[in-house]
Structure 1
Amino acid sequence: MNGKRVVGVDIGKHWLDVATEGSERVARSSNNAAGIAAFIEKLDPSQDVVVFERCGGWERPLEAALADRAICWAVVHSQRVKAFREAQGVKAKTDRIDARLLRDYGRDRLNAGKLRLGRREDVTLDALMARQRQLKAMLHAERCRAATAAVEAVRCSTERTIAHLEEMLAAIAAELVQHEVGHAELAFKEGVLCSQIGVAEQTARALLAELPELGRLARKATTALGGLAPRVHESGTIRRRRGLAPGRTAIKVILFNPARTAMRFDPQIKEFCSRLRAHGKPGKVIMVAVMRKMLVRLNARLRDATAQTSTAAAAG
């Protein structure tokens, strides 16, 4: 991977600023279909790695285009890029400077073997799950409006919208099933995750969409990415109350109901909760502890199952 050429891209609503290794010149393309196509034409799929940050969804067309052309890419965390900027002593901030910083940060991570490359199947799963969440939110809103509609025309309108949204949700569900059929690895991972009491297909898909690294992480990294790691603040005689460190907030939403189910029906989780209650821990702390334990357990199960499958394939 060290023989690769890193390309940093600062993404905005209208523009892509591109910094390529070996040149201090920063090129600019339009962030539309034509501009993205022109940019990708200049890339070498066997050599280039494109590095960029999330940008409120404006990065998705580029990400999808890179996946279609089988060009390596990596989405990096903006907070880590910010820390890299401070470590480099860079005070100014422009689109061109940001593109160069992304290029340099990508090279640093690539040399350290810590640059996680994106995968096409993850992009598709994430997009389908995001659309499913959007449709469910719209359906819930329309049902609330229908329940309070006092005018016949309004009630009929909401009912038509509800029927249409239900059809669209069914279509997305069919697309998700078709996506699993075409990706055996994804179906295998979902099966492993569903072996945990409280986790069903929808939860497994959501976890794989929000945390595609699951099964390849260390214990502490798993809880940190899930936003379930305690943040310690101790200095001298100061001992502040521990809170949760920031992470991917959707993970806590996804695990909340599965954790409630596990607290009732998983014998090991029930015993764990009993010990915490005996020590006087409040309910909210117990819930977070259960979600953290479940996420660590799911990561370990997926890691072990993947390793066993790889070993069996090598032996066979």
Structure 2
Amino acid sequence: MEEVRAGIDVSKDRLDVFVRPSGKAFVAANDEAGIGDLVVRLAEEGATLVVVEATGGYERPVAAALAAVGLPVAVVNPRQARDFARATGRLAKTDKLDAEILARFAEAVGPEPRPVPDEEAREFAEVLARRRQLVGMLTAEKNRLGSATAEPVKKRIEAHVRWLEKELARTDRDLDGAIGSSPTMRENEALLRSVPGVGPVLARTLLAELPELGALDRRRLAALAGVAPFNRDSGKLRGRRAVWGGRARVRAALYMAALVASRHNPAIRKFYERLLAAGKPKKVALVACMRKLLVILNAMLKHRDLWRSPHALTP
């Protein structure tokens, strides 16, 4: 059977669709009625893979609708699509051209479809994102307070800081409520937080931003989180391996957790000290600890095991 690939360029109000190899192109409104028509048309075309570009959350309704009727859908990083476009010599950029590029990307690369997070997971991720925004605003306002000299300005900043702190506390209660109302999330958070060095920020970031945890092998998961080292070799040159890409928010939370774990988690601390003794730079050793911590957490969720200290296993 002929493989039918479709690309969807998403904007706030419209969805540009391109289907290969037929070359059909059409536009649908990015609302409930438009998405419904789009799903019907792609089902009639017999689409075997639909690629959607991540667009700040505007892609979620159409991706969920496609997944709900069993159409394989892959949400890809915009940088991947642009790099592919440049590699094929397509430098112009319009919504229709972007949809065609996504369809060609689906045809040439065949990204793996992944499950779309359910409504509960999406709501949890939004609350967590709001918490990050509040922490960022609170940090910025406190920095401004330190440099403010005019008394009226200081009073207004202090009032805003108090409001942000109250809003942050309310958001934390919302997160606690979301965890408490979901038996699966509650159990998964308990498993993750049983590891020394893993606090609520990392546990909840992983639950929201890395739903593949516990389902993928360690190499694919490390690449997804952006902690897998990539080779930079050419001919006789052997370049220094480096990590890049992946999910930035997961990587940032892992970094802070690995920093704590390198001091207070016996397994991670021993691993970190061994790398330093072997002459590895501290930053390289810390990234390796991030990767090891992620592998441990992945195995724990996969096998549903609580953390056990290595010291507890020795007679």
**If the TM-score is normalised by the length of the shorter chain, which range does it land in?**
0.7 to 0.9
Quick check: 1:81–1:101 contact (8 Å CA) kept in 2? yes
Residue 17 of structure 1 aligns to a residue in which SS?
strand
* TM-score normalised by L of structure 1: 0.79
Deviation of 1:265 (Å): 1.7
Residue 243 of structure 1 aligns to a residue in which SS?
coil
Task: Report sequence identity in percent.
Answer: 35
Quick check: 1:64–1:123 contact (8 Å CA) kept in 2? no
- Quick check: 1:221 aligned with 2:220? yes
The one-letter code of the counterpart of 1:96 is K
CA–CA distance in 2 between the matches of 1:256 and 1:144? 23
The residue aligned with 2:285 is: 286
> Displaced runs of 4+ in structure 1, greater than 4 A?
4-7, 20-23, 43-50, 64-70, 79-87, 103-110
- Quick check: 1:254 aligned with 2:249? no
Residue 52 of structure 1 aligns to a residue in which SS?
strand
Deviation of 1:170 (Å): 2.1
The residue aligned with 2:113 is: 115
The one-letter code of the counterpart of 1:260 is L
The residue aligned with 2:310 is: none
- Quick check: 1:42 aligned with 2:37? yes
CA–CA distance in 1 between the matches of 2:165 and 2:273? 41
CA–CA distance in 1 between the matches of 2:83 and 2:131? 34
The one-letter code of the counterpart of 2:27 is R
- Quick check: 1:183 aligned with 2:179? no
The one-letter code of the counterpart of 1:198 is G
The residue aligned with 1:235 is: 234
Question: Judging changes above 3 Å, is the alpha-carbon distance between structure 1 residues 99 and 167 closer, same or farther for their aligned structure 2 residues?
Answer: same
CA–CA distance in 2 between the matches of 1:66 and 1:247? 20
Quick check: 2:13–2:31 contact (8 Å CA) kept in 1? no
The one-letter code of the counterpart of 2:115 is L
Deviation of 1:21 (Å): 7.3
Quick check: 1:128–1:176 contact (8 Å CA) kept in 2? yes
Quick check: 2:39–2:65 contact (8 Å CA) kept in 1? no
Q: How does 1:76-115 map to 2 (within 5 A)?
A: 76-81=76-81, 91=90, 93=92, 94-103=94-103, 105-106=105-106, 114-115=112-113
The one-letter code of the counterpart of 1:167 is K
Quick check: 1:36–1:62 contact (8 Å CA) kept in 2? no
List gaps (5 residues or longer) in structure 2. 306-315
The residue aligned with 2:311 is: none
- Quick check: 1:63 aligned with 2:60? yes
Of 206-215 and 15-24, deviating more is: 15-24
Deviation of 1:152 (Å): 2.2
Quick check: 1:18–1:28 contact (8 Å CA) kept in 2? yes
CA–CA distance in 2 between the matches of 1:102 and 1:224? 22
Query: What does the per-residue CA deviation read over 1:27-48, in whole Å, with 9 as the maximum and x for residues that have no partner?
Result: 2245xxxx42231232558968
Quick check: 1:106–1:115 contact (8 Å CA) kept in 2? no
Q: RMSD of aligned C-alpha atoms?
A: 3.3
CA–CA distance in 1 between the matches of 2:86 and 2:155? 57
Query: What does the per-residue CA deviation read over 1:146-175, in whole Å, with 9 as the maximum and x for residues that have no partner?
Result: 233322211221122112212221222222
Query: What does the per-residue CA deviation read over 1:228-272, in whole Å, with 9 as the maximum and x for residues that have no partner?
Result: 111212233212222223222223311222112211122222221
Of 244-253 and 77-86, deviating more is: 77-86
Deviation of 1:133 (Å): 0.6
Residue 230 of structure 1 aligns to a residue in which SS?
coil
Residue 231 of structure 1 aligns to a residue in which SS?
coil
Quick check: 1:180–1:187 contact (8 Å CA) kept in 2? yes
Query: What does the per-residue CA deviation read over 1:190-241, in whole Å, with 9 as the maximum and x for residues that have no partner?
Result: 1221121100122101122222211111111121122211121223321222
CA–CA distance in 2 between the matches of 1:148 and 1:90? 50
CA–CA distance in 1 between the matches of 2:152 and 2:61? 41
* TM-score normalised by L of structure 2: 0.79
The one-letter code of the counterpart of 2:195 is Q
Question: Judging changes above 3 Å, is the alpha-carbon distance between structure 1 residues 75 and 182 closer, same or farther for their aligned structure 2 residues?
Answer: farther
List gaps (5 residues or longer) in structure 1. 307-316
Q: How does 1:98-177 map to 2 (within 5 A)?
A: 98-103=98-103, 105-106=105-106, 114-120=112-118, 121-177=120-176
The residue aligned with 1:309 is: none
CA–CA distance in 1 between the matches of 2:242 and 2:226? 10
Question: Judging changes above 3 Å, is the alpha-carbon distance between structure 1 residues 61 and 80 closer, same or farther for their aligned structure 2 residues?
Answer: closer
CA–CA distance in 2 between the matches of 1:154 and 1:265? 42
The residue aligned with 2:313 is: none
Question: Judging changes above 3 Å, is the alpha-carbon distance between structure 1 residues 36 and 19 closer, same or farther for their aligned structure 2 residues?
Answer: farther
Deviation of 1:136 (Å): 0.6
